[in-house]
Amino acid sequence: MPDVHIVTDSNADIPPDLVARLGIVVVPSLVVINEQPYRDGVEISRAEFYAKLPGLRPPPSTAAPSSGEFQDLYRACGPGPIISLHLAGPFSAICNVARLAAEGLGGQVTVVDTGSVSMGQGWQVIAAAEAAAAGVGLDGVLAAIQSVQARVRLWAALDTVEYLRRSGRAGALSALLGDLLQIKPLLEVRAGTVKPVARLRTRHKVIDALRAQVEGLGPLERLAVLHTAAPADAHTLAARLGHLTPEPPLVVEATAVIGTHVGPGALGLAAVIAG
């Protein structure tokens, strides 16, 4: 049976060593700065982006890759089924673009809306690649994705709501955020929706609230600590949560596309509940 090829977008935030080891194909999203598009992680690094972000006027925006880029990558995969897993549909046009690109490939490509972002998406992609490497076939890989998707949980705590406002993404959260720019909202992302959980006022309370959310899940299969230009706090949080998982948590700096909307200083957790 031909290999099952795994494709995702750069919003999955999978560390490069895992991408290489598991043979995952990553399609870069676009960050647009002063009307100039940059391929995320290719033409602009996370370090470069976060150094520039506070001073960018007008604020940066984001865009999906083109259907042509998807088609080129799908064809480069060669024969065999392709599973293309992407950022939640309500957050981006990426899934729709991938489906459009797949139409001309005779059913070779199965597009999966992960309902999540960052490592909430990434854990599903990793599970798919591991299942594909184990040779379980298309149905087995899809079953592995469905299992993780049902068990993944993602929280993010923003250091400020200013970047949500700049990007126009604060509307759905206005009831929680009000006009208080000093609050640090704790949000949960699940099934393509963003749910306000709490509004916090200090960094200490942010870390405690994230810990409380994940510690309430019981045993974990996997855990990633996410951050936007806040490595010290992320490593501190990972050290405090290391007892919950068989392996140490991953510490991942979120992609520039995510950073455009949440700003620097955000912290998050992407957990997979033990099955």
Give the closest residue to 269 by CA, choosing from 162, 122, 126.
Answer: 122
Q: Report how far residue 211's alpha carbon sits from residue 196's, in angstroms, rounded to the nearest whole number.
A: 16
- Render pLDDT for 160-219 as a digit per residue (tens, 0 to 9): 888 877 756 555 455 445 445 578 889 999 999 989 898 888 889 999 999 999 999 989
Element (H, E) at 33: strand 30-33
Class at the top of the CATH hierarchy for domain 5-150 = alpha beta
For the chain, the C-alpha Rg in angstroms (whole number) is 18
For strand 25-27 and strand 109-113, is the pairing parallel, antiparallel, or unpaired? unpaired
Give the residues across from 39 on adjacent strands.
30
pLDDT band at 104 (very low <50, low <70, confident <90, very high): confident
Confirm whether 5-150 and 152-273 share one CATH topology. no
Tokens 């009307």 appear where? 35
The domain ranges of the chain are 5-150, 152-273
* Domain 152-273 in this protein, CATH class: alpha beta
Mean per-residue pLDDT of the chain: 92
**Segment 119-167, tens digit of pLDDT:** 999 999 999 999 999 999 999 999 999 999 999 999 999 988 888 777 5
